[in-house]
């Protein structure tokens, strides 16, 4: 009798592996669950990657590496510290590739913070006031206005927070999801601790840092 495994084309597994970065076995299982639909299988892997990352989020990340990126023409430069749990993982090709991708993304997208929790109280309140004023101008009921404000704030976080931004090389996923894919593959918690972005001629520069998550007991 022909098995489900035999019905999945090996080329689909390879394509999904290249697209997601997930292990071959996980790609095969996702394709089996979605009956060979590679886009649906990719969504399955993304959800599992986020779940895996959430489970490991409380684990200390005291190892890692600092990466850099200098844009063509040497007008923009980035330094970023990416942390993991062991020096072994920090030296892997997958981790180093992620480090380069994050640095390049920061150069291109100019985030101001690492994650939403890092946004200063002043910036947060100022943005909320702007959003409320814009929403109130629509003349809609209070309940609707609150929904509008929520939507605008989510967009704000996506614009200024590194982890919420669509990844520059694949707009279908966020930087947070990109990191989650590597967490699922490498089996360790991975976090962005801080970054600095410099641009020639700019009146200031961006330096962002987030507090590390405390290790679980």
The predicted-structure confidence for 170-179, as pLDDT tens digits, reads as follows 998 999 999 9
User: Per-residue confidence at 213, pLDDT binned at 50, 70, 90?
Assistant: low
Tokens representing 215 are 């290790």
pLDDT (0 to 100) of residue 216: 43
pLDDT above 70: percentage of residues in the chain: 93
How many CA atoms lie less than 13 Å away from 189 in the CB half-sphere? 19
Question: Do 50 and 8 sit in the same domain of this protein?
Answer: yes
Question: Do 139 and 48 sit in the same domain of this protein?
Answer: no
pLDDT above 90: percentage of residues in the chain: 49
> Does the structure show a pLDDT above 60 at 65?
yes
Q: Rounded CA gap, 5 and 173, in Å?
A: 28
Q: Rounded CA gap, 104 and 109, in Å?
A: 9
pTM score, two decimals? 0.76
Question: Do 68 and 106 sit in the same domain of this protein?
Answer: yes
Please answer whether residues 202 and 107 qualify as being in contact, where contact means their C-beta atoms are separated by less than 8 angstroms. Answer: no
pLDDT (0 to 100) of residue 128: 87
Question: Do 48 and 69 sit in the same domain of this protein?
Answer: no
* Total domain count, the chain: 3
Rounded to the nearest integer, the mean pLDDT of the chain is 87
pLDDT (0 to 100) of residue 63: 96
Q: Rounded CA gap, 201 and 139, in Å?
A: 42
Average pLDDT over residues 83-90: 96
Average pLDDT over residues 29-50: 83
Question: Do 72 and 102 sit in the same domain of this protein?
Answer: yes
> Does the structure show a pLDDT above 70 at 1?
no
Domain-located, residue 215: no
Q: How far is CA 4 from CA 31, 91, 148, in A?
A: 10, 37, 46
pLDDT (0 to 100) of residue 150: 85
Tell me how long the chain is.
217
CA-based end-to-end distance of the chain:
50
Listed residues 12, 32, 55: the one ending a domain: 55
Question: Do 101 and 136 sit in the same domain of this protein?
Answer: no
Q: Rounded CA gap, 188 and 61, in Å?
A: 9
Q: Rounded CA gap, 104 and 98, in Å?
A: 10
H or E segment to which residue 80 belongs: strand 76-84
> Does the structure show a pLDDT above 80 at 23?
no
């Amino acid at each position: 009798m022909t098995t489900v495994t035999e019905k999945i084309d090996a080329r689909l597994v390879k394509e999904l592996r290249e697209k997601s970065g997930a292990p071959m076995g996980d790609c095969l299982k996702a394709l089996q669950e979605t009956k060979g639909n590679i886009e649906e299988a990719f969504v399955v892997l993304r959800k599992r990657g986020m779940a895996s990352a959430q489970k490991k989020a409380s684990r200390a990340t005291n190892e890692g590496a600092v990466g850099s990126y200098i844009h063509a023409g040497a007008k923009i430069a980035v330094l970023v510290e990416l942390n993991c749990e062991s020096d072994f993982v920090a030296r892997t090709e997958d981790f180093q590739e992620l480090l380069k991708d994050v640095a390049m993304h920061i150069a291109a997208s100019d985030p101001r913070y690492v994650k939403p929790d890092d946004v200063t109280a002043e910036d947060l309140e100022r943005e909320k006031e702007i959003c409320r004023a814009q929403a109130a101008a629509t003349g809609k009921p209070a309940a609707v206005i609150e929904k509008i404000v929520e939507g605008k704030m989510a967009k704000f976080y996506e614009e200024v927070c590194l982890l919420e931004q669509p990844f520059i090389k694949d707009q279908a996923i966020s930087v947070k999801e990109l990191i989650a894919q590597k967490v699922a593959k490498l089996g360790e918690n991975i976090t962005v601790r801080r970054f600095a972005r410099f641009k020639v001629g700019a009146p200031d520069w961006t330096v962002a840092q987030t507090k590390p998550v405390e290790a679980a007991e």
